[in-house]
Every structure is written in structure tokens, then in C-alpha cells.
Amino acid sequence: MTRRIPSQVRGPRPTVTKETRYRQAMKQRGFRLLSIWVPDTRSAKLRAELRRQSRLVARAESVRDRALLDAALADLEGWTA
């Protein structure tokens, strides 16, 4: 009969320790962990919505609408890809 040793006795798994060290190092560098939900760019639903919005922008008839879009696109200072 084999007896299982509880994880507290064996110690942490190496991957957990490595992750912990990495997180501590990042905190020391002034970073903090942030988890966010982002759109799934592989989603057909998202592609359809982006296509819909692109068509609306392309059909913007009024000068005011175009000016608003141009102003928003011109104000990209500090943003990086």
C-alpha cells in the first residue's frame, strides 16, 4: 500500500516557487499585477461588431462627424503598439 505525502510536507512545487520569485521581483521593480478581460480578437461576434463600426465610420457624412474622428485619431501621443 502506497501512502501519499501531503503537499505541505513535500514543499511547494518548483513552478510555484519560480512564479512567486518572479512576482516579487516585478513588485520590487515598481510593477503590480493586474488581471483584465480583453475582447477575444478570434471571436466571429467581435469581428462582426468591428466591421459594423468600421462601416459606420466610413459612411460618416457630416463634417462634424469626420472632424470628431480625425481629432480622436490625432490624439495618440504616448500610446504604443
- Tens digit of each residue's pLDDT (9 = 90 or more) over 4-23: 666 566 666 676 788 899 99
Enumerate the domain spans of the chain.
Answer: 8-33+40-74
Pairwise CA distance, residues 24 & 31, whole Å: 9
Q: What is the pTM of this model?
A: 0.42
Q: Is the pLDDT of residue 78 over 90?
A: no
Q: Are 70 and 64 in contact (CB under 8 A)?
A: no
Average pLDDT over residues 31-37: 92
What pLDDT is attached to residue 1?
A: 59
- Which pLDDT score, from 0 to 100, does residue 6 have? 62
